[in-house]
Structure formats: C-alpha cells, structure tokens
Structure 1
Amino acid sequence: MQSPLFAYTEQQSQDRYTVQNPQLLRVALTGQDDVLARKGAMVAYQGLIDFDGEYQSGGERRARARTGEGLDLMRCSGQGTVYFANLAQYIHVVDVDQDGMTVDSAYVLALDSTLHTEVVAVDSQYGISGSGKYQLHISGRGRVALMTSGRPLMMRVTPETYVSADADAVVAWSSALRVQMQAQTHSSGVRRRRGNTGEGWELSFLGQGFALVQPSEVLPPQHAAIGQGLAAQFGVGQQGAHGQNQRNDWGR
C-alpha cells in the first residue's frame, strides 16, 4: 500500500507534549504523571491508558453555574501516548511559571494535573452588572495546551507599551498584567456594540507580560446575517456563541 498519507506518521520526540501537527497534540504518559484533557478531545491512543471523569468540588460547580466559566475535564493516566484535538483548531503548548496565566476556558485543550485553576472576574470600568467578564486563572508549574481558531497573534505588553484587544478575540494573558474591560464610547451607549463599527468591549492590558489574540471573535460582525432577529445579530440563541455554532465559523 502506498499513499502520500504515510508522510503523516507519528512525530518522534522525548517531550511530554508534542504538537504532532498544527491541529493535533501528542502527550506521552509514563505512569507517574496524569494529564487532564477536555472531555471528548481524545482522537487516538497507544498503550495502556485509562480515561476517567475529573472530580469537581462543590465550589468549582457553583462557580461554573454562576459564571459559566470552568473546565469539563477527563483524567488520562497510565503508560502510552494519547492524541488530542478539538474541531481542528490550532494547538499551542505554553509553559506556566510562577506568575501564572489567565485564559478563557473555552480554549483549553489539556493541562498537567499538577496545575491549579480558579475562576476570576474582570470588571468593566462602568460597573454595570453583567458587563464584566469571567476567566480562568491557571497557577503552578506545568504545561497547558491552548487552542485558537486560526493562527494567533502574541502581543508583548511593557510598561511603555500597553495593549488593547477585542474582548471576544482574547485567548489568554499573563496573570501579572493589570486588566480592565472597557468600551470606547459614551456611557449611554455602553450596553450596545459601538454604532455601526461592529466593535464592542475591549480588554486593556498594562504592565509586563503577553496577551494572546486569535483571528476570530465569539460574536459575529455587527449586522451579520446569522439566524433571525436581534438575538442572532448579537451572537445569542441557537446560532450564537453559546448555541450550536461553537467553532466561531460565522462565514460558513
């Protein structure tokens, strides 16, 4: 049997996390260190691997119910190799240091079981109930595999150069950064997206670190013809960010 498909064989590496290709992650397990992965993300494995649902404490369940932020994980243990992917999104491995990382949980594919996670809030400058944003803070030492819709942009933040980005395009940032959610509009219009520009809430970052942005937004462009009615225009309902269209593929 011959085919160009044989060019896509397993990557040979001694690393625990290996990006097999831009959209597929390979994780090596030795029997001593488990990996936590997004439920349903396993696409193949070799060896003796066990998959179990990861226990959530009462506090984690309450935080998830109250904020919508959190991780649905499975614990992978044993000896062998596991391959993970999710909707053919691009995969990036990040080393977490003592400063930690803040991330939108929707973009977490896998992480070391030694890392700690907790839900944190990013408040808006206007103090309007419901206009803030909840994210996941990851601390400890270990690795996290993140996903992006398309090839991302890593933006450096320094005391001399602060960065602002669309809140719906931000994937992760250094937890040491000072962050504020804001809209560049007068106060009477903060409840809606800015006029006909299609732009809404922004996250502004100050300090020393990085901000990771993907070339895709949770919400569709202003006046996008997706579904029907005002709700569809703003990405809610059956075709919205929390409905059936979970890939952010608004043009397909």
Structure 2
Amino acid sequence: MQSALFSHTENPSQDRYAVQNPQLLRVALTGSDDVLARKGAMVAYQGLVDFDGEYQSSSQQRARAHTGEGLDLMRCSGQGTVYLANLAQYVHVLDVTSEGLTVDSNYVLALDSTLNTEVIAVDSQYGISGTGKYQLNINGHGKVALMTSGQPLMLQVTPEKYVNVDADAIVAWSSGLRVQMQAQTHSSGVWRRRGNTGEGWELSFLGQGFALVQPSEVLPPQNAQIGSGARAQFGVGQQGAYGQNQNNAWS
C-alpha cells in the first residue's frame, strides 16, 4: 500500500513533551512521572499506560462549584507514549517557572502532575463571554500544554509598554502581571457591544511578562450547546460558527 499518509510518522524527539504535529501532542511516560491530561483527550497510546480519573480535593470541588473554573483531568501513568489532542486545536508547550501562569481552564490540554493549580479572581465584577471573573493560576516547576484556535500571538509586556487584549481572544498570561478589565463602550448599556466597532470587553496588562492571544474570539467548541440565546451569539450555538455541525455536536 502506498500513500502520502505514510509520511505522517511518529516524532523521533526524545523530549518528554513533543508536538507531533501542530494539533497533536506526544507525551513520553517513564513510570515515575505522571501526566494530568484533559478527560477524553487521548487519541492513541503505546506501551503499558494506565488512565484514571484525577481526584479533586474538597476545596477544589467548592471552587469549581462557586466559580465554574477548574480542570476535568485524567491521570496518565506507566511506561509508554500517549498522544493527546482536542478538537484539532493547535497545541503549544510552555515551561512553568516561579513566574507562574494564569490561564482559562478551557485551553489546558495537559500538565505535569507536580504543578499546582488554584482558582483566582480577575479584576472584574462582570462575567463575560470569554475571560470571566475567575481564572486558573498554575504555579510550580514543570510543563503545561495549552490549546489555541489557530496559530497564536505572544505579546511581551514591559513597564514601558502595557498591552490591551480582547477578553474573548486572551488565552494565558504571566501571573505577575497586573490586570484590569474594562468595557470599550460609550453606551450607557455596558453589556451591549459598541454598534460601530463590534468591540466589547478588554484586559489591560501592566508589569513585566507576556500575554498569549489566539486569532479567534470564539470559545473552544467543547462548550457547544445546540440552541439559541447568548451562547449562540458568541459562536457556540446553532446560530453560531459551529452550528453547521449539529449531527456531531461535540457532546
């Protein structure tokens, strides 16, 4: 049998986390270093690998119940190779250091089990379509794999150059940055986007660090709901960007 498909072979990289292709992550397990991955993200594996639901502490369960922010994870352990993906989103591997990383949990594909996660509040009294008033803070030392809809843009933030980002496009940022949320509108109704620009909420980042932006203002489609209403307005209902796929509705 011959086909161009046979050129898509395994990545020979010796790295623990390796991007097999832009939308597929390869993780090597050696038996002593578990990986926590998004539930259901495994597309293939080799070797003796076990998958188990990750336990959530009572404080994590309370935070999830009150804020809606948190991670649904499975623990991957053993010896072998695991391939992870989610809805063909682009995959990126970051090294988390003492600087820390703040991220929307919807964009986390996998992370080292040695990293710590905590739900934090963003400087806003509003819950909006993209980045809401709660986010996930990841700290410690290890690697985390993030997902974006399309190829992202990494913006450097310095004391001399602060950065403004559409709240629906931001993926992650350095935890040490100061964050302020504001509405770009002159209307008395702050919940209504400006009619002449289409722009709504934005985040302002000040300090020293980075902000990761994706070329999309649509929530990851794992949150899709077939129906109308506010969620459709932001691209995840039958009136939105993913509404043409109703027979395979990312349930």
Alignment TM-score > 0.5, same fold: yes
Answer whether contact 1:35 1:112 (CA < 8 A) is retained.
yes
Deviation readout 1:192-228 (Å, 9 max, x if unpaired): 2223422111011001110000011136xxxxxx965
**Structure-2 residue corresponding to 1:234:** 233
Aligned partner letter, 2:234? G
- Once the 2 structures are TM-superposed, how far is the Cα of residue 186 of structure 1 from its aligned partner? 4.1
What residue ranges of structure 1 are gaps of 5+ in the alignment?
A: 220-225
Answer whether contact 2:159 2:208 (CA < 8 A) is retained.
yes
**Structure-2 residue corresponding to 1:100:** 100
Matches within 5 A, 1:1-252: 1-124=1-124, 128=125, 130=127, 133-186=133-186, 188-218=188-218, 228=228, 231=230, 234-235=233-234, 238-239=237-238, 249=242
What residue ranges of structure 2 are gaps of 5+ in the alignment?
A: 220-225, 246-251
> Using the alignment, how far apart are the partners of 2:99 and 2:184 within structure 1?
30
Answer whether contact 2:187 2:194 (CA < 8 A) is retained.
no
Answer whether contact 2:38 2:110 (CA < 8 A) is retained.
yes
Aligned partner letter, 2:185? T
> Using the alignment, how far apart are the partners of 2:68 and 2:93 within structure 1?
24
Aligned CA RMSD, in angstroms, stands at: 2.3
Answer whether contact 1:89 1:147 (CA < 8 A) is retained.
yes
Aligned partner letter, 1:234? Q
- Once the 2 structures are TM-superposed, how far is the Cα of residue 59 of structure 1 from its aligned partner? 1.2
Aligned partner letter, 2:43? V
> Using the alignment, how far apart are the partners of 2:167 and 2:127 within structure 1?
14
Moved more, 210-219 or 76-85: 210-219
Question: Are residues 91 and 49 of structure 1, via their aligned partners in 2, closer, same or farther at CA, if it must alter by over 3 Å?
Answer: same
Alignment length, in residue pairs? 236
SS in 1 for 2:151: coil
> Using the alignment, how far apart are the partners of 1:236 and 1:151 within structure 2?
19
Deviation readout 1:169-190 (Å, 9 max, x if unpaired): 1000000110111112347332
SS in 1 for 2:91: strand
Question: Are residues 159 and 250 of structure 1, via their aligned partners in 2, closer, same or farther at CA, if it must alter by over 3 Å?
Answer: farther
Answer whether contact 1:232 1:239 (CA < 8 A) is retained.
no
Aligned partner letter, 1:195? G
> Using the alignment, how far apart are the partners of 1:78 and 1:86 within structure 2?
22
> Using the alignment, how far apart are the partners of 1:117 and 1:200 within structure 2?
29
SS in 2 for 1:87: coil
SS in 1 for 2:80: strand
Aligned partner letter, 2:208? Q
Answer whether contact 1:157 1:208 (CA < 8 A) is retained.
yes
**Structure-1 residue corresponding to 2:223:** none
> Using the alignment, how far apart are the partners of 1:210 and 1:129 within structure 2?
24
